[in-house]
């Protein structure tokens, strides 16, 4: 069975709400720096994605594009990218359904989304073999530009609550 890795990334720091509609909020300057650091960290950790699922919100698309630039600079190949409205207000169940439709060759999948979905999904998908300290931290929510790594030995269509191992959480400095 192939090892599949799922990286759940909360978008980087965005401009405050209220200036434009929420879906169109851009990244703040600090968010641009965070996104670049995320891309470099993913590359350094050997987590360059083969597939990316990105919310259609401006801040998530910008987070991915900036992270992608850092990944490419580190030698990563271009992944299959899907930008979708379905991740904007996704529940954990919605995200699991999206993941279940992934092709088997999607070995490392990066999801760029929003809170509370990113932390709730990490907690819900985490099974018994998960790192308890990481799980406890994730259950309290994650800050902007934080990412978790979950692993699974089965096919993507088997993704369900408790089916993966939560093994890592990275929080920006």
How sure is the predictor about 2, in pLDDT bands with cuts at 50, 70 and 90? confident
44-70: buried (b, 16+ CB within 10 Å) or exposed (e) per residue? eeebbbbbbbbbebbbbbbbbebbbeb
pLDDT in tens, 97-131: 999 999 999 999 999 999 999 999 999 999 999 99
Q: What is the pLDDT of residue 44?
A: 96
CA–CA separation, 39 vs 168, rounded Å? 16
Are 44 and 75 in contact by the 8 Å Cβ rule? The answer is: no
Q: Among candidates 45, 167, 49, which has minimal Cα distance to 110?
A: 49
SS3 37: helix
Separation between Cα atoms, residue 47 and residue 62, nearest integer Å: 19
Supply the pTM of this predicted model: 0.97
How many of the other CB atoms lie within 10 Å of CB of 93? 12
pLDDT over 90 (residue 19): no
Quick one: pLDDT at residue 87? 96
List, for residues 40-74, the tens digit of each pLDDT value.
Answer: 999 999 999 999 999 999 999 999 999 999 999 99
Q: What angle do CA 64, 68, 73 make, to 5 degrees?
A: 160
Q: Evaluate if residue 81 carries a pLDDT over 90.
A: yes
Question: Cα(117)–Cα(84) distance, rounded to whole angstroms?
Answer: 15
Domains along the sequence of the chain with CATH: 4-170 (3.40.50.1240)
Q: pLDDT band at residue 173, thresholds of 50, 70 and 90?
A: confident
Q: Phi-psi bin for 107: left (phi > 0), alpha (psi -120 to 50), beta? A: alpha
């Amino acid at each position: 069975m192939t090892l599949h890795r799922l990286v759940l990334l909360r978008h980087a720091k965005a401009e405050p709400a209220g200036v434009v509609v929420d879906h169109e909020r851009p990244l703040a300057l600090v968010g641009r720096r965070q996104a670049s650091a995320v891309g470099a960290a993913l590359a350094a950790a050997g987590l360059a994605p083969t597939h990316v699922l990105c919310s259609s919100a401006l801040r998530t698309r910008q987070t991915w594009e900036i992270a992608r630039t850092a990944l490419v600079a580190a030698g990563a190949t271009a992944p299959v990218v899907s930008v979708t409205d379905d991740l904007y207000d996704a529940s954990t169940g919605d995200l699991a359904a999206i993941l279940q439709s992934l092709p088997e060759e999607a070995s490392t999948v990066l999801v760029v989304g929003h809170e509370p979905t990113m932390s709730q999904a990490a907690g819900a998908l985490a099974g018994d073999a998960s790192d308890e300290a990481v799980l406890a931290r994730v259950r309290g929510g994650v800050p902007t530009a934080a990412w978790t790594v979950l692993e699974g030995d089965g096919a993507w269509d088997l993704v369900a609550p408790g089916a993966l191992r939560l093994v890592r959480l990275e929080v920006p400095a």
